[in-house]
Structure 1
Amino acid sequence: ERGESKRIKRKVKVVELPVGATEDRVVGTLDLEHALKKGEKRIEPGILAAAHRGILYVDEVNLLEDHVVDVLLDSAAMGVNTIEREGVSFSHPSRFTLVGTMNPEEGELRPQLLDRFGLCVIVEGIQETEERVKIMERRLAFEENPEGFCSRWKKASEELSQRIKNAMEILPQVEIDRSLLFEIANYCLEVGVDGHRADIIMLKTSKTLAAWDGRKKVELEDIVKAAELALPHRVRRRPLEEIKGDVGSLVKQEWLSWKAS
Protein backbone atom coordinates (compact mmCIF):
# COMPACT_ATOMS: atom_id res chain seq x y z
CA GLU A 1 0.00 0.00 0.00
CA ARG A 2 1.15 3.50 -0.77
CA GLY A 3 1.08 5.97 2.04
CA GLU A 4 0.38 9.67 1.80
CA SER A 5 2.57 12.32 3.34
CA LYS A 6 0.85 14.97 5.42
CA ARG A 7 0.84 18.54 4.21
CA ILE A 8 1.74 21.12 6.78
CA LYS A 9 0.51 24.65 6.17
CA ARG A 10 2.29 27.65 7.64
CA LYS A 11 2.18 31.38 7.18
CA VAL A 12 4.55 32.87 4.62
CA LYS A 13 7.51 34.42 6.40
CA VAL A 14 8.63 37.96 5.65
CA VAL A 15 12.34 38.39 6.41
CA GLU A 16 14.00 41.81 6.16
CA LEU A 17 17.54 42.20 4.90
CA PRO A 18 19.08 45.35 6.44
CA VAL A 19 21.08 47.58 4.10
CA GLY A 20 24.14 47.32 6.32
CA ALA A 21 24.02 43.52 6.69
CA THR A 22 27.38 41.78 6.39
CA GLU A 23 27.99 38.88 4.05
CA ASP A 24 28.25 36.49 7.02
CA ARG A 25 24.86 37.69 8.30
CA VAL A 26 23.29 37.11 4.89
CA VAL A 27 24.95 33.82 3.93
CA GLY A 28 25.61 32.27 7.33
CA THR A 29 28.80 31.50 9.16
CA LEU A 30 30.66 29.08 11.37
CA ASP A 31 29.60 29.09 15.02
CA LEU A 32 33.01 29.83 16.54
CA GLU A 33 31.73 29.81 20.12
CA HIS A 34 30.41 26.27 19.71
CA ALA A 35 33.63 25.22 18.01
CA LEU A 36 35.75 26.52 20.89
CA LYS A 37 33.56 24.99 23.59
CA LYS A 38 32.74 21.63 22.01
CA GLY A 39 35.53 21.19 19.51
CA GLU A 40 32.90 20.68 16.81
CA LYS A 41 32.22 22.69 13.68
CA ARG A 42 28.64 23.91 13.41
CA ILE A 43 27.07 26.20 10.82
CA GLU A 44 24.98 29.17 11.93
CA PRO A 45 22.39 29.86 9.18
CA GLY A 46 21.95 33.39 7.86
CA ILE A 47 19.15 35.51 6.45
CA LEU A 48 18.92 33.46 3.23
CA ALA A 49 18.11 30.35 5.26
CA ALA A 50 15.42 32.20 7.22
CA ALA A 51 13.85 33.52 3.99
CA HIS A 52 13.53 30.08 2.35
CA ARG A 53 9.99 29.60 0.98
CA GLY A 54 9.12 33.09 2.14
CA ILE A 55 9.57 36.74 1.21
CA LEU A 56 12.93 38.50 1.44
CA TYR A 57 12.31 42.23 1.82
CA VAL A 58 15.08 44.75 1.16
CA ASP A 59 14.53 48.44 1.85
CA GLU A 60 16.80 50.81 -0.11
CA VAL A 61 17.85 47.84 -2.23
CA ASN A 62 19.91 50.12 -4.47
CA LEU A 63 22.24 50.87 -1.55
CA LEU A 64 23.27 47.25 -0.92
CA GLU A 65 26.98 46.48 -1.00
CA ASP A 66 28.16 44.82 -4.22
CA HIS A 67 29.28 41.63 -2.48
CA VAL A 68 25.83 41.21 -0.89
CA VAL A 69 24.21 41.78 -4.29
CA ASP A 70 26.42 39.01 -5.72
CA VAL A 71 25.20 36.62 -3.02
CA LEU A 72 21.56 37.46 -3.77
CA LEU A 73 22.13 36.93 -7.49
CA ASP A 74 23.71 33.53 -6.92
CA SER A 75 20.92 32.36 -4.60
CA ALA A 76 18.18 33.72 -6.86
CA ALA A 77 19.66 31.94 -9.87
CA MET A 78 20.43 28.58 -8.24
CA GLY A 79 17.83 28.37 -5.48
CA VAL A 80 20.66 27.20 -3.21
CA ASN A 81 22.91 29.00 -0.74
CA THR A 82 26.39 27.64 -0.01
CA ILE A 83 28.32 28.48 3.15
CA GLU A 84 32.07 27.94 3.04
CA ARG A 85 34.06 28.70 6.15
CA GLU A 86 37.25 27.24 7.64
CA GLY A 87 37.32 24.31 5.24
CA VAL A 88 33.67 23.46 5.89
CA SER A 89 31.15 23.61 3.03
CA PHE A 90 27.40 23.44 3.61
CA SER A 91 24.52 24.01 1.16
CA HIS A 92 20.83 24.49 1.83
CA PRO A 93 17.76 25.43 -0.28
CA SER A 94 17.18 29.16 -0.57
CA ARG A 95 14.13 29.89 -2.69
CA PHE A 96 12.44 33.14 -1.89
CA THR A 97 10.41 35.97 -3.37
CA LEU A 98 12.57 39.08 -3.50
CA VAL A 99 10.79 42.35 -2.74
CA GLY A 100 12.72 45.61 -2.75
CA THR A 101 12.00 49.30 -2.41
CA MET A 102 14.22 52.18 -3.47
CA ASN A 103 14.42 55.87 -4.26
CA PRO A 104 15.90 56.22 -7.79
CA GLU A 105 17.31 59.62 -6.85
CA GLU A 106 19.65 57.94 -4.35
CA GLY A 107 21.32 55.72 -6.92
CA GLU A 108 20.55 53.07 -9.51
CA LEU A 109 20.39 49.30 -9.20
CA ARG A 110 22.97 47.09 -10.84
CA PRO A 111 21.42 45.82 -14.11
CA GLN A 112 21.99 42.19 -13.09
CA LEU A 113 19.91 42.64 -9.93
CA LEU A 114 17.33 44.89 -11.58
CA ASP A 115 16.46 42.16 -14.06
CA ARG A 116 15.84 39.72 -11.20
CA PHE A 117 12.81 41.71 -10.11
CA GLY A 118 9.87 40.35 -12.05
CA LEU A 119 7.57 43.34 -11.63
CA CYS A 120 8.03 47.03 -10.88
CA VAL A 121 5.55 49.50 -9.40
CA ILE A 122 6.27 53.23 -9.22
CA VAL A 123 4.72 54.69 -6.06
CA GLU A 124 3.67 58.32 -6.27
CA GLY A 125 2.45 60.69 -3.58
CA ILE A 126 -1.28 61.19 -3.03
CA GLN A 127 -2.29 64.50 -4.61
CA GLU A 128 -6.03 64.48 -3.81
CA THR A 129 -7.06 66.34 -0.66
CA GLU A 130 -9.87 63.95 0.27
CA GLU A 131 -7.59 60.91 0.02
CA ARG A 132 -4.93 62.55 2.20
CA VAL A 133 -7.57 63.31 4.83
CA LYS A 134 -8.66 59.64 4.81
CA ILE A 135 -5.08 58.58 5.42
CA MET A 136 -4.82 60.87 8.46
CA GLU A 137 -8.17 59.74 9.84
CA ARG A 138 -7.37 56.05 9.52
CA ARG A 139 -3.92 56.49 11.03
CA LEU A 140 -5.43 58.25 14.04
CA ALA A 141 -8.14 55.58 14.32
CA PHE A 142 -5.50 52.86 14.43
CA GLU A 143 -3.38 54.66 17.03
CA GLU A 144 -6.38 55.28 19.29
CA ASN A 145 -7.80 51.75 19.06
CA PRO A 146 -5.67 49.20 17.16
CA GLU A 147 -7.96 46.26 17.97
CA GLY A 148 -11.08 48.13 16.95
CA PHE A 149 -9.45 49.29 13.73
CA CYS A 150 -8.39 45.75 12.81
CA SER A 151 -11.85 44.45 13.66
CA ARG A 152 -13.42 47.08 11.40
CA TRP A 153 -11.35 45.97 8.42
CA LYS A 154 -11.29 42.26 9.24
CA LYS A 155 -14.03 41.33 6.78
CA ALA A 156 -12.36 43.19 3.90
CA SER A 157 -9.04 41.50 4.73
CA GLU A 158 -10.66 38.07 4.80
CA GLU A 159 -12.36 38.69 1.45
CA LEU A 160 -9.03 39.70 -0.07
CA SER A 161 -7.35 36.63 1.41
CA GLN A 162 -10.04 34.37 -0.01
CA ARG A 163 -9.72 35.96 -3.43
CA ILE A 164 -5.99 35.22 -3.39
CA LYS A 165 -6.66 31.60 -2.44
CA ASN A 166 -9.22 31.26 -5.23
CA ALA A 167 -6.76 32.70 -7.75
CA MET A 168 -4.08 30.25 -6.64
CA GLU A 169 -6.47 27.35 -7.24
CA ILE A 170 -7.49 28.62 -10.68
CA LEU A 171 -3.98 29.54 -11.87
CA PRO A 172 -2.87 26.02 -12.98
CA GLN A 173 -5.94 25.84 -15.22
CA VAL A 174 -5.44 29.19 -16.97
CA GLU A 175 -4.74 28.94 -20.70
CA ILE A 176 -3.40 31.46 -23.21
CA ASP A 177 -3.86 31.53 -26.99
CA ARG A 178 -0.70 31.34 -29.07
CA SER A 179 -1.66 34.62 -30.76
CA LEU A 180 -1.25 36.39 -27.42
CA LEU A 181 2.25 34.98 -27.08
CA PHE A 182 3.09 36.96 -30.22
CA GLU A 183 1.65 40.08 -28.54
CA ILE A 184 3.97 39.53 -25.58
CA ALA A 185 6.99 39.08 -27.84
CA ASN A 186 6.07 42.22 -29.80
CA TYR A 187 5.83 44.34 -26.64
CA CYS A 188 9.27 43.19 -25.51
CA LEU A 189 10.83 43.84 -28.91
CA GLU A 190 9.15 47.25 -29.19
CA VAL A 191 10.70 48.59 -25.98
CA GLY A 192 14.06 46.93 -26.64
CA VAL A 193 14.50 44.72 -23.58
CA ASP A 194 17.45 42.34 -23.40
CA GLY A 195 17.13 38.58 -23.04
CA HIS A 196 13.95 36.56 -22.64
CA ARG A 197 13.15 36.92 -18.95
CA ALA A 198 10.73 39.78 -19.66
CA ASP A 199 8.70 37.62 -22.07
CA ILE A 200 8.39 34.84 -19.52
CA ILE A 201 7.49 37.22 -16.70
CA MET A 202 4.79 38.84 -18.85
CA LEU A 203 3.37 35.42 -19.69
CA LYS A 204 3.20 34.38 -16.03
CA THR A 205 1.84 37.75 -14.93
CA SER A 206 -0.93 37.78 -17.54
CA LYS A 207 -2.04 34.29 -16.43
CA THR A 208 -1.97 35.43 -12.81
CA LEU A 209 -4.11 38.48 -13.62
CA ALA A 210 -6.65 36.26 -15.37
CA ALA A 211 -6.80 33.97 -12.33
CA TRP A 212 -7.17 37.02 -10.08
CA ASP A 213 -10.29 37.97 -12.06
CA GLY A 214 -11.59 34.40 -11.79
CA ARG A 215 -11.00 33.58 -15.46
CA LYS A 216 -9.36 30.51 -16.98
CA LYS A 217 -8.38 32.22 -20.23
CA VAL A 218 -5.96 35.10 -20.77
CA GLU A 219 -7.28 38.17 -22.60
CA LEU A 220 -5.36 40.99 -24.27
CA GLU A 221 -6.26 43.24 -21.36
CA ASP A 222 -4.17 40.99 -19.11
CA ILE A 223 -1.21 41.38 -21.49
CA VAL A 224 -1.60 45.16 -21.36
CA LYS A 225 -1.52 45.23 -17.56
CA ALA A 226 1.37 42.77 -17.44
CA ALA A 227 3.42 44.94 -19.82
CA GLU A 228 3.07 47.98 -17.58
CA LEU A 229 4.37 45.97 -14.62
CA ALA A 230 7.08 43.86 -16.24
CA LEU A 231 8.72 46.09 -18.84
CA PRO A 232 9.55 49.62 -17.57
CA HIS A 233 12.49 48.69 -15.31
CA ARG A 234 14.04 46.44 -17.95
CA VAL A 235 14.71 49.26 -20.41
CA ARG A 236 17.94 50.76 -19.11
CA ARG A 237 18.46 53.62 -21.51
CA ARG A 238 16.13 56.10 -19.81
CA PRO A 239 14.65 56.89 -16.35
CA LEU A 240 11.90 54.60 -15.06
CA GLU A 241 9.24 57.31 -15.09
CA GLU A 242 9.85 58.16 -18.76
CA ILE A 243 9.93 54.50 -19.80
CA LYS A 244 6.71 53.79 -17.93
CA GLY A 245 5.03 56.50 -19.97
CA ASP A 246 6.28 55.01 -23.23
CA VAL A 247 5.11 51.52 -22.33
CA GLY A 248 1.78 52.91 -21.18
CA SER A 249 1.26 54.67 -24.53
CA LEU A 250 2.21 51.56 -26.47
CA VAL A 251 -0.11 49.22 -24.64
CA LYS A 252 -2.93 51.76 -24.70
CA GLN A 253 -2.72 51.98 -28.51
CA GLU A 254 -2.74 48.19 -28.78
CA TRP A 255 -5.68 47.97 -26.40
CA LEU A 256 -7.76 50.55 -28.30
CA SER A 257 -6.94 48.83 -31.59
CA TRP A 258 -8.05 45.49 -30.16
CA LYS A 259 -11.29 46.94 -28.74
CA ALA A 260 -12.11 48.50 -32.11
CA SER A 261 -11.62 45.23 -34.01
Structure 2
Amino acid sequence: MSDPMRPPASPHRPRAASPGSDPSRPRASLRTAVVREVVQDALDRRAKATGRQALEVLDTGGGSGNFAVPLARLGHRVTVVDPSPNALFALARRAAEAGVDDRVRGVQGDVHGLFDVVERGGYDAVLCHGVLEYVDDPAEGVRNAVAALRPGGVLSLLAAGLGGAVLARALAGHFTEARQALADPDGRWGTGDPVPRRFTAEQLTSLVEGAGLGIGAVHGVRVFADLVPGVLVDTQPGALDALLELEAVAAELPAFHSVATQLHVLGETPGT
Protein backbone atom coordinates (compact mmCIF):
# COMPACT_ATOMS: atom_id res chain seq x y z
CA MET A 1 0.00 0.00 0.00
CA SER A 2 1.41 3.41 -0.95
CA ASP A 3 2.22 5.99 1.69
CA PRO A 4 -0.16 8.97 1.21
CA MET A 5 2.41 11.30 2.77
CA ARG A 6 5.27 10.33 0.48
CA PRO A 7 5.74 12.71 -2.47
CA PRO A 8 5.25 10.97 -5.82
CA ALA A 9 8.08 10.69 -8.28
CA SER A 10 7.82 13.74 -10.52
CA PRO A 11 9.97 15.59 -13.07
CA HIS A 12 8.84 18.78 -11.30
CA ARG A 13 10.08 17.75 -7.86
CA PRO A 14 12.56 20.37 -6.60
CA ARG A 15 16.07 19.20 -5.86
CA ALA A 16 16.90 19.51 -2.20
CA ALA A 17 19.93 21.52 -1.26
CA SER A 18 23.14 19.60 -0.62
CA PRO A 19 23.80 19.48 3.12
CA GLY A 20 26.84 21.46 4.13
CA SER A 21 27.21 22.91 0.65
CA ASP A 22 27.61 26.50 1.83
CA PRO A 23 27.48 27.33 5.54
CA SER A 24 27.42 31.05 4.77
CA ARG A 25 24.31 30.86 2.57
CA PRO A 26 21.87 33.53 3.78
CA ARG A 27 18.66 32.47 5.48
CA ALA A 28 16.82 34.39 2.78
CA SER A 29 17.47 31.45 0.45
CA LEU A 30 14.67 29.67 2.29
CA ARG A 31 12.22 32.04 0.62
CA THR A 32 13.23 31.22 -2.93
CA ALA A 33 15.03 27.85 -3.02
CA VAL A 34 12.06 25.69 -4.03
CA VAL A 35 10.80 28.11 -6.68
CA ARG A 36 14.28 28.59 -8.16
CA GLU A 37 14.71 24.84 -8.57
CA VAL A 38 11.30 24.37 -10.19
CA VAL A 39 11.83 27.27 -12.60
CA GLN A 40 15.31 26.11 -13.53
CA ASP A 41 14.07 22.57 -14.16
CA ALA A 42 11.24 23.90 -16.33
CA LEU A 43 13.66 26.02 -18.36
CA ASP A 44 16.03 23.07 -18.76
CA ARG A 45 13.19 20.98 -20.19
CA ARG A 46 12.14 23.82 -22.46
CA ALA A 47 15.70 24.27 -23.72
CA LYS A 48 15.99 20.56 -24.43
CA ALA A 49 12.65 20.51 -26.25
CA THR A 50 13.47 23.52 -28.43
CA GLY A 51 17.18 22.92 -28.92
CA ARG A 52 17.83 26.50 -27.77
CA GLN A 53 20.03 26.98 -24.72
CA ALA A 54 19.28 30.71 -24.47
CA LEU A 55 15.57 31.17 -23.83
CA GLU A 56 13.46 34.33 -23.74
CA VAL A 57 12.09 34.90 -20.24
CA LEU A 58 9.63 37.57 -19.11
CA ASP A 59 9.60 38.49 -15.42
CA THR A 60 6.52 40.55 -14.57
CA GLY A 61 6.93 42.50 -11.35
CA GLY A 62 10.53 41.31 -11.29
CA GLY A 63 11.77 44.30 -9.28
CA SER A 64 15.52 44.44 -8.72
CA GLY A 65 16.20 41.08 -10.36
CA ASN A 66 16.14 38.43 -7.65
CA PHE A 67 15.19 35.90 -10.31
CA ALA A 68 16.18 37.73 -13.48
CA VAL A 69 19.89 38.07 -12.76
CA PRO A 70 20.46 34.41 -11.78
CA LEU A 71 18.55 33.30 -14.89
CA ALA A 72 20.67 35.59 -17.03
CA ARG A 73 23.77 34.03 -15.47
CA LEU A 74 22.51 30.73 -16.87
CA GLY A 75 22.54 32.27 -20.33
CA HIS A 76 18.89 33.21 -20.76
CA ARG A 77 17.66 36.61 -21.96
CA VAL A 78 15.34 38.18 -19.40
CA THR A 79 12.94 41.10 -19.77
CA VAL A 80 11.76 42.55 -16.46
CA VAL A 81 8.55 44.57 -16.35
CA ASP A 82 8.04 46.55 -13.15
CA PRO A 83 6.15 49.76 -12.30
CA SER A 84 8.91 51.10 -10.02
CA PRO A 85 11.70 53.20 -11.58
CA ASN A 86 13.78 52.68 -8.44
CA ALA A 87 13.49 48.91 -8.75
CA LEU A 88 14.49 49.05 -12.41
CA PHE A 89 17.50 51.21 -11.54
CA ALA A 90 18.56 48.64 -8.95
CA LEU A 91 18.02 45.91 -11.54
CA ALA A 92 20.33 47.62 -14.03
CA ARG A 93 23.03 48.06 -11.40
CA ARG A 94 22.72 44.48 -10.21
CA ALA A 95 22.86 43.08 -13.74
CA ALA A 96 25.94 45.18 -14.51
CA GLU A 97 27.70 44.02 -11.34
CA ALA A 98 26.94 40.41 -12.32
CA GLY A 99 28.23 40.96 -15.84
CA VAL A 100 24.91 40.08 -17.48
CA ASP A 101 23.60 43.54 -18.40
CA ASP A 102 23.59 42.47 -22.06
CA ARG A 103 21.04 39.75 -21.21
CA VAL A 104 18.75 41.70 -18.86
CA ARG A 105 16.35 44.41 -20.02
CA GLY A 106 14.14 46.42 -17.68
CA VAL A 107 11.00 48.24 -18.83
CA GLN A 108 8.50 50.22 -16.78
CA GLY A 109 4.98 48.84 -16.80
CA ASP A 110 2.64 46.35 -15.15
CA VAL A 111 0.84 43.14 -15.94
CA HIS A 112 -2.45 44.88 -16.84
CA GLY A 113 -0.76 47.06 -19.48
CA LEU A 114 1.72 44.35 -20.37
CA PHE A 115 1.41 44.59 -24.14
CA ASP A 116 2.06 48.28 -24.12
CA VAL A 117 5.69 47.41 -23.38
CA VAL A 118 6.31 43.81 -24.54
CA GLU A 119 5.14 41.63 -27.41
CA ARG A 120 2.48 38.95 -27.31
CA GLY A 121 3.60 35.37 -27.74
CA GLY A 122 7.28 36.20 -27.52
CA TYR A 123 8.51 34.30 -24.45
CA ASP A 124 9.45 30.76 -23.53
CA ALA A 125 8.65 31.39 -19.89
CA VAL A 126 6.80 34.05 -17.92
CA LEU A 127 7.39 34.62 -14.23
CA CYS A 128 4.53 36.23 -12.32
CA HIS A 129 5.79 36.34 -8.75
CA GLY A 130 4.21 38.46 -6.03
CA VAL A 131 1.98 40.26 -8.54
CA LEU A 132 -1.56 38.88 -8.21
CA GLU A 133 -1.83 40.03 -4.60
CA TYR A 134 -1.70 43.66 -5.73
CA VAL A 135 -3.55 43.87 -9.06
CA ASP A 136 -7.18 44.88 -9.46
CA ASP A 137 -8.08 41.83 -11.56
CA PRO A 138 -5.98 38.70 -10.94
CA ALA A 139 -7.73 36.77 -13.72
CA GLU A 140 -6.80 39.43 -16.27
CA GLY A 141 -3.24 39.44 -14.97
CA VAL A 142 -2.92 35.69 -15.50
CA ARG A 143 -4.51 35.90 -18.96
CA ASN A 144 -2.01 38.56 -19.99
CA ALA A 145 0.90 36.53 -18.65
CA VAL A 146 -0.29 33.50 -20.61
CA ALA A 147 -0.78 35.56 -23.77
CA ALA A 148 2.91 36.49 -23.62
CA LEU A 149 3.93 32.84 -23.93
CA ARG A 150 5.08 31.05 -27.03
CA PRO A 151 3.44 27.68 -27.80
CA GLY A 152 4.92 25.18 -25.38
CA GLY A 153 5.98 27.90 -22.94
CA VAL A 154 5.64 27.76 -19.16
CA LEU A 155 4.17 30.08 -16.54
CA SER A 156 5.64 30.36 -13.04
CA LEU A 157 3.03 31.81 -10.72
CA LEU A 158 3.84 32.66 -7.10
CA ALA A 159 1.37 34.28 -4.72
CA ALA A 160 0.61 34.68 -1.03
CA GLY A 161 -1.15 31.71 0.55
CA LEU A 162 -4.20 32.14 2.75
CA GLY A 163 -3.49 29.26 5.10
CA GLY A 164 0.00 30.43 5.99
CA ALA A 165 -1.29 33.83 7.06
CA VAL A 166 -4.06 32.32 9.17
CA LEU A 167 -1.62 29.97 10.88
CA ALA A 168 0.89 32.75 11.54
CA ARG A 169 -1.72 35.04 13.12
CA ALA A 170 -3.05 32.21 15.28
CA LEU A 171 0.41 31.18 16.50
CA ALA A 172 1.10 34.81 17.38
CA GLY A 173 -2.01 34.83 19.56
CA HIS A 174 -4.07 37.01 17.21
CA PHE A 175 -7.00 34.63 17.04
CA THR A 176 -9.62 37.19 15.98
CA GLU A 177 -7.41 38.29 13.09
CA ALA A 178 -6.86 34.66 12.07
CA ARG A 179 -10.61 34.10 11.93
CA GLN A 180 -11.07 37.37 10.04
CA ALA A 181 -8.63 36.22 7.36
CA LEU A 182 -10.59 32.99 6.95
CA ALA A 183 -13.85 34.87 6.54
CA ASP A 184 -12.59 37.71 4.34
CA PRO A 185 -13.04 37.14 0.57
CA ASP A 186 -9.52 38.49 -0.03
CA GLY A 187 -7.96 36.64 2.89
CA ARG A 188 -7.06 39.80 4.83
CA TRP A 189 -6.83 39.76 8.61
CA GLY A 190 -7.68 43.45 9.13
CA THR A 191 -7.18 47.02 7.99
CA GLY A 192 -3.52 46.90 8.98
CA ASP A 193 -2.81 43.89 6.78
CA PRO A 194 -0.12 44.90 4.25
CA VAL A 195 -1.16 42.22 1.74
CA PRO A 196 -4.26 43.17 -0.29
CA ARG A 197 -5.16 39.63 -1.35
CA ARG A 198 -4.27 35.99 -0.63
CA PHE A 199 -5.12 32.76 -2.38
CA THR A 200 -5.74 29.08 -1.86
CA ALA A 201 -4.12 26.51 -4.12
CA GLU A 202 -7.51 25.83 -5.67
CA GLN A 203 -8.02 29.50 -6.53
CA LEU A 204 -4.62 29.79 -8.20
CA THR A 205 -4.96 26.60 -10.22
CA SER A 206 -8.43 27.73 -11.31
CA LEU A 207 -6.96 31.03 -12.57
CA VAL A 208 -4.25 29.20 -14.51
CA GLU A 209 -6.64 26.68 -16.03
CA GLY A 210 -9.10 29.46 -16.84
CA ALA A 211 -6.37 31.12 -18.90
CA GLY A 212 -5.96 27.94 -20.97
CA LEU A 213 -2.96 26.27 -19.34
CA GLY A 214 -2.54 22.85 -17.82
CA ILE A 215 -1.18 22.44 -14.31
CA GLY A 216 2.35 21.09 -14.35
CA ALA A 217 2.92 21.26 -10.60
CA VAL A 218 1.79 22.95 -7.39
CA HIS A 219 4.19 23.66 -4.53
CA GLY A 220 3.87 25.05 -1.05
CA VAL A 221 6.61 27.61 -0.38
CA ARG A 222 7.89 28.62 3.06
CA VAL A 223 5.86 25.96 4.82
CA PHE A 224 8.10 26.01 7.89
CA ALA A 225 10.63 28.79 7.26
CA ASP A 226 8.47 31.64 8.56
CA LEU A 227 7.50 29.72 11.69
CA VAL A 228 10.96 28.64 12.84
CA PRO A 229 12.79 31.13 15.10
CA GLY A 230 15.73 32.61 13.24
CA VAL A 231 18.10 31.93 16.13
CA LEU A 232 17.61 28.18 15.69
CA VAL A 233 18.59 28.35 12.04
CA ASP A 234 21.45 30.78 12.51
CA THR A 235 23.16 29.14 15.47
CA GLN A 236 22.73 25.38 15.03
CA PRO A 237 25.29 23.76 12.68
CA GLY A 238 23.60 22.32 9.60
CA ALA A 239 20.18 23.68 10.55
CA LEU A 240 19.77 25.77 7.40
CA ASP A 241 20.53 22.87 5.08
CA ALA A 242 18.25 20.57 7.07
CA LEU A 243 15.42 23.10 6.88
CA LEU A 244 15.95 23.51 3.13
CA GLU A 245 15.72 19.72 2.76
CA LEU A 246 12.51 19.67 4.77
CA GLU A 247 11.01 22.52 2.71
CA ALA A 248 11.89 20.73 -0.54
CA VAL A 249 10.15 17.51 0.52
CA ALA A 250 7.08 19.21 1.99
CA ALA A 251 6.67 21.53 -0.99
CA GLU A 252 5.00 18.88 -3.15
CA LEU A 253 2.75 17.38 -0.50
CA PRO A 254 -0.84 18.69 -0.85
CA ALA A 255 -1.32 18.31 2.90
CA PHE A 256 1.10 21.22 3.42
CA HIS A 257 -0.20 23.52 0.68
CA SER A 258 -2.92 24.74 3.00
CA VAL A 259 -0.42 26.11 5.53
CA ALA A 260 2.25 27.50 3.20
CA THR A 261 3.09 31.20 3.31
CA GLN A 262 3.23 31.22 -0.49
CA LEU A 263 1.92 28.98 -3.23
CA HIS A 264 3.67 28.24 -6.50
CA VAL A 265 1.89 26.96 -9.61
CA LEU A 266 3.66 25.87 -12.77
CA GLY A 267 1.36 26.28 -15.76
CA GLU A 268 2.15 24.58 -19.06
CA THR A 269 0.85 25.40 -22.52
CA PRO A 270 -0.11 22.69 -24.98
CA GLY A 271 3.01 21.28 -26.55
CA THR A 272 5.16 21.52 -23.42
Q: TM-score, normalised by structure 2?
A: 0.27
More strand per residue: 2
More helix per residue: 1
The structure with more radius of gyration: 1
Q: TM-score, normalised by structure 1?
A: 0.28
Greater RCO structure (CA 8 Å; 6+ sep): 2
